[in-house]
Amino acid sequence: MKSERGQATVEFALVLPILLLLISGILNFGWVFGNQLLAQNAAREATRYTAIHYYDSSTDDDRTVAAGIVTSRAPTIDSPVVTLSVTGDTITVKVSSSVKLLTPLISELFPDGKCTITTQCVMRLE
């Protein structure tokens, strides 16, 4: 019988890169998905507030307030771009931002190590 010492170490060394890639992919997907949900909820709250208070203030004030709501409700999103538009009796708030990925292994696959998220919410003016 031959000795099988070191076999487990060799197998682990072969499987380790795939395992690390899988774990870092799961972490980054969860991070981006969580930030997408934060942006979506923040856009919904900004749209709702603006739809209720649209006739109380000017359009510039509404844009500033909507951007403030998005920034306060989604603190992990760096410098979100908030666009507010009114068409007829509906208001649309669009939020887009770049989210920095957590692990360097996956961030090398994206430009600048960031993933772009966008969301929008449409409501009727009240």
pLDDT at 41: 95
Tokens describing residue 10: 């060799």
pLDDT at 59: 66
How crowded is residue 49: how many other Cβ atoms within 10 Å of its Cβ?
Answer: 17
* CB-side neighbour CA atoms (13 Å) of 88: 4
pLDDT at 28: 93
- What is Dmax (Cα atoms) for the chain? 87
Compute mean pLDDT per 10 residues along the chain, 126 residues long, and list them.
Answer: 78 94 94 95 94 80 89 89 92 94 88 92 93
